[in-house]
Chains A and B, each alone.
Chain A
Amino acid sequence: MRWKQFFTPVQSMDGLETRKFLEQLSGDDYNLIDVRQPGEYKDGHLPGAKLIPLGDLADRARELDPDKPTVVY
Chain B
Amino acid sequence: MLAGKGFGKVINMAGGIKGWNSETAVGPEDLGLSLFTGHESLEEVLVIAYSLEKGLFDFYISMTEIITDTKVRQLFNQLSTIEIKHQERVLAEYNDLKKNHITREEFEQQPAATMMEGGLTTEEYLALYKPDLDSIRDVVSLAMGIEGQALDLYSRAADRASNKEVKNSLLKIADEERAHLRQLGALLD
Contact = CB atoms under 8 A, between A and B. Distances in A.
Interface of A: 2, 4-5, 8-16, 18-19, 21, 23, 26-28, 36, 38, 40-51, 57-58, 61, 64, 66-73
B11 A4 contact: no
Nearest to B167: A28
Contact of A12 (B6, B9, B11, B149): B11
B1 A71 contact: no
B29 A38 contact: yes
Contacts of B127: none
B126 interface: no
A2 B8 contact: no
B1 A4 contact: no
Nearest to A51: B29
Given A15-B20, A48-B151, A61-B5, A43 B15 contact: no
B178 interface: yes
A16 to B, nearest CB: 7
A31 B171 CA distance: 13
A73 B24 contact: no
Nearest to A14: B14
A73 B7 contact: no
Contact of A4 (B4, B12, B158, B171): B4
A11 B9 CA distance: 8
Interface in B45-68: none
A45 B152 contact: yes
A4 B24 CA distance: 34
Interface string B23-48: 11111110000000000000000000
A14 B12 CA distance: 8
23 contacts: A2-B5, A10-B10, A11-B12, A12-B13, A15-B13, A15-B15, A15-B19, A21-B11, A23-B182, A28-B168, A41-B28, A44-B24, A45-B25, A45-B26, A47-B151, A48-B25, A48-B152, A49-B152, A51-B29, A70-B10, A71-B11, A72-B2, A73-B17
